[in-house]
Chain A
């Protein structure tokens, strides 16, 4: 028996409160940024230098791009793609194979476009297959764990567990180590991908469907939005993001090995954990339906800042991985405390 109010305009204060309520987590994250930043300025040497900031956004870009891909999976209620680093691994090997050998035809050796397309194609195929099984009703954790084993195994088998080298100069340098207007190419890629992802989520029907299906799969099916096609698309987006990061990383290293993303990557070791941490720290709901890629991007920069500071303070990789683990736990606690009020209660 709610009365209809003809006045469509909300009072400003209501709008502001609504805005703030929706963004409690964002506000918390931003204040944490400020704390980190001030701490860095006063207590860490070499913190406030341009070189250091470039290092931070470069690190953030690598796992940030993968995390943006993973955000689509998480928002759509399909939990996580646990084969992140294995997908990157096989795509990296594919790319290096193309650059080094041209897949057996010497004419193509070193051809950047062919190698890139081959790596992306591997990403698409693995994403579609895993998405298909999840869409058919498979548990995403089990399906993608299985996928992880298979993808890693094929990459290691194909490359004989060897490091595949290709020498400089090569056509992929611009992506690996090049920069444009003072920022590394990979950072530009991160910015462009982040903007594109945010537009897709906010302003397209596909983006809306991601949220709706993530909020309630059964209601999604009843309104004509099935998780089957959704799972295939989001897993493919995520896998392609992995492939792209792998290509950029391999181009930077001039070589690839199937273990690169387990041990050598970045500074905090295991890439899958790092990327999942990024999505979590951004404050996206694990159950789906709530969050954004903007949060993920901020999460990536936040983790990179913390990690960078720990490096400058002289911590080795052990404590830094502990740091990432703590951030996951912390974000779950914060999310549990603050998201409850805004989530629907029966």
Chain B
């Protein structure tokens, strides 16, 4: 590692009003290197990324490329210097073809180019990112989310980017698609590109990076050689303290008193009807990649997705929820995977979010004069460690972790018998993750049956008492307590029938 860094940032600070987002941040990257960038939500990752990619010119400090001081006023200036960023939210146009999306800006394209010409021009870039089998004339929205991420990167490469910033490229992806992204990153690095890899998924960081920059409260904590540290050490540096145990211990035994019986449930996206039961006070994990049907099963138990057939039995009643409000009446709560879309009322205050499913409980004869709602929402907030002082703030102003706590905590207001959670910790930092796991365990101990679906393999291994695996719309297997092992589950959700070895 004696090479000169091609990008070097020293002593950079950035303030927004009274908030200091970055102070004394240092960062560097060599040619052909994969540099991990990690930190909790709010540690300053995105601010640093914005500074590097030219979105934020208002910082103090030194920014050098190839030992020359630079100052970017706009993202396009940064791009001319070979720095490109793939944002978490994709900027592709869904109903245009792959090739058209790659050459969207029109640079390097002749005035009258047919789709075929574009397709030929796009081919080498697609090959570079590993999309060898994708036809460049396909429309973007026919590709999977993972493939779309790869197209986005192909677009960056087509503009001759030397330094690529990937901001959480795998956040919305399942295991297999994530693996494709990682392979692409390694291939690009081998071809001499420098890659800044931002992720909450520490296992990926360890798999592909050579060095890691850790940010904490806006201060960079020195650059770590990946081979010299382990996950615990990394988390300790990230949090500034030791994370005693991220996952609460599992239950001693699973009760054999079935609380919820699911019979022959058959929602769209699931190949054959699914039946299982969930026991009182257990945490049941549904494991599977995106499109495996685990999330769909969960949504249809909650009435958010129509099921072609089947029934639920809960508290001696047999029914099939037709809508979320029907399920809520039966004390089934469902926290969806996309809190911004249908989990939170972002523009409304936190306390309104917390009491939103249970307006009846805070009012008399339909009237609500505030005081009982105040107490009610404050109690909920305390239970979920949400800052009581911020109850009147808009929920959209909270960080991802706190938003997730509100999205989850609001369901306690209906005193649920069954709590369904799809992706309990997507886009949530390590600290809030551990708090959410603790709360889920406490709720289960109180007798609530919790069923969650997740694509996060750590979560699915260490949190639940029982795991059911799904693969391509089929239920594969069930495991209990100490029989839950990562390699076994990984095998069952990616390749249960040994197809890759055929």
Contact = CB atoms under 8 A, between A and B. Distances in A.
Interface in B272-297: none
Nearest to A343: B347
Contact of B324 (A221, A342, A346): A221
A342 B431 CA distance: 28
B134 interface: no
B352 A205 contact: no
Contacts of A206: 366
A237 to B, nearest CB: 15
Contact of A218 (B342, B360, B385, B431): B342
A226 interface: yes
Give chain A's interface residue range (CB within 8 Å of chain B). 20 to 34
Contact of A289 (B328, B343, B345): B345
Contact of B397 (A1, A222, A344): A344
Interface stretch (A164-172, A209-217, A260-268): A209-217
Nearest to A9: B389
Interface string A13-57: 000001000000000000000000000000000000000000000
A8 B388 contact: yes
B334 interface: yes
B387 A3 contact: yes
A218 B368 contact: no
B359 A205 contact: yes
A337 interface: no
B334 A204 contact: no
B329, B342, B345, B369 interface centre (most CB from chain A within 10 Å): B345
A212 B389 contact: no
Interface in B354-404: 356-357, 359-360, 363, 366-370, 378, 382, 385-390, 392, 394-397, 402
A2 B385 CA distance: 7
B387 to A, nearest CB: 4
Interface string A197-231: 00000011110110110011011111111100000
B304 interface: yes
A221 B394 CA distance: 20
B346 interface: yes
A203 B368 contact: yes
Q: Is the interface of A mostly helix, strand, loop or mixed?
A: loop
Contacts of B132: none
Given A205-B368, A221-B324, A222-B334, A215 B435 contact: no
A292 to B, nearest CB: 14
Contacts, number: 108
Contact of A219 (B342, B363, B367): B342
Nearest to A15: B392
Interface in A256-299: 289-290
Given A4-B382, A205-B368, A289-B345, A222 B304 contact: yes
Contact of B345 (A5, A8, A219, A343): A219
A10 B325 contact: no
A208 B390 CA distance: 20
Contacts of A216: 342, 344-347
B336 interface: yes
B357 A208 contact: no
Interface in B112-169: none
Contacts of B382: 4
A175 B56 CA distance: 62
A344 B347 contact: yes
B324 A223 contact: yes
Given A208-B368, A218-B342, A290 B347 contact: yes
Contacts of B359: 205, 208-209
Given A219-B342, A219-B344, A212 B367 contact: no
Contacts of A344: 346-347, 394-397
Tell me which of B360, B366, B382, B389 has the highest count of chain A C-beta atoms within 10 A of its own C-beta.
B389
B394 A342 contact: yes
A105 interface: no
By size class, the interface of chain B is 35 or more
Nearest to B392: A18
Contacts of B432: 1
B323 A226 contact: yes
A218 B341 CA distance: 7
B336 A222 contact: yes
A290 B352 CA distance: 13
A113 to B, nearest CB: 29
A212 B348 contact: yes
Contacts of A343: 347, 394, 396
Contacts of B388: 4-5, 8
B216 interface: no
B323 to A, nearest CB: 7
A196 to B, nearest CB: 13
Contacts of A18: 392
Contacts of B342: 216, 218-219, 221-222
B386 A2 contact: yes
Among A219, A226, A342, A343, max chain B CB count under 10 A is at A219
B193 interface: no
A279 B338 CA distance: 32
Given A222-B304, A226-B323, A345 B396 contact: yes
Contacts of B334: 222
A89 B392 CA distance: 43
Interface in B178-192: none
A345 B410 CA distance: 21
Contact of B366 (A205, A221, A224): A205
8 contacts: A2-B385, A2-B390, A205-B367, A215-B346, A223-B357, A343-B347, A343-B394, A344-B347
Given A212-B352, A215-B348, A219-B341, 15 more contacts: A2-B386, A4-B385, A18-B392, A212-B356, A216-B342, A220-B345, A221-B342, A223-B324, A223-B328, A223-B410, A224-B323, A225-B325, A289-B347, A290-B347, A344-B395
Interface of A: 1-5, 8, 10, 18, 203-206, 208-209, 211-212, 215-216, 218-226, 289-290, 342-346
